[in-house]
Amino acid sequence: MLEIGTKAPSFELPDQNGDMHTLEEYRGKKVILYFYPRDNTPGCTKQACGFGELYPQIMEKNAIVVGISKDSVASHKRFEEKYNLPFTILADPELTAIQAYDVWKEKTNYGKTSMGVVRTTYLIDEEGTIVQALGKVKTATNPAEMLEKL
């Protein structure tokens, strides 16, 4: 996980509509940047829907939410439409941002070890500096926790 106080790594990734986004385009706003393992899984869905429900309050605080996983643009589009998600979801199948933000780790599930995204949420300030870094977050409480930190 990256350290608080460091400059957030830049990225250029496609969203659920295939449009490219960079971190720099969000300058002047706070960014809740969250990394999650996979679309349409129970935990990831709970976390995304939580951010969706709180999105109006997050925007009132001059902040936005951006989710990133290694799923494809098409997978993200289905996920967005199924749950009516109001925020940007970026596809990172090449793991460029995932590795830059140090969330690609060895994980053990049911005794089996594999590489994967460790659920992590960063809060980036208006100038692009990481001001909060939360690892192994709980899907049910992370959205409200991040709203509180704004």
Q: Is the pLDDT of residue 65 over 90?
A: yes
Per-residue model confidence (pLDDT) at position 108: 82
Look at residue 150 in the predicted model and tell me its pLDDT. 94
CB-CB contact of 125 with 136 (8 Å): no
The answer on pLDDT for 13 being more than 90 is: yes
Question: d(Cα 7, Cα 137) in Å, to the nearest integer?
Answer: 21
Residue 136 has pLDDT above 90, yes or no: no
Q: What global pTM score does this model have?
A: 0.95
Q: Is 25's pLDDT higher than 90?
A: yes
Nearest to 35 by CA among 108, 146, 129, 134: 134
Binned at pLDDT 50, 70 and 90, residue 103 comes out as very high
Confidence of residue 107 (pLDDT cuts 50, 70, 90): confident
pLDDT, tens only, 114-132: 899 999 999 999 999 999 9
Indicate the burial class of 125 (C-beta count within 10 angstroms; 0-12, 13-18, 19 or more): middle
Q: Is the pLDDT of residue 112 over 90?
A: no
Residue type for position 17: N
- The yes-or-no verdict on residue 110 having pLDDT over 90 is no
Could you list the active site residues? 44
- Decide if pLDDT at 109 tops 90: no
In which band, very low, low, confident or very high, does the pLDDT at 111 lie, cut at 50, 70 and 90? confident
Domain 12-149: give its CATH architecture.
3-Layer(aba) Sandwich (3.40)
Compute the distance between CA of residue 138 and CA of residue 98 in angstroms, rounded to an integer: 19
pLDDT tier, 79 (very low <50, low <70, confident <90, very high otherwise): very high
Q: What is the pLDDT of residue 128?
A: 97
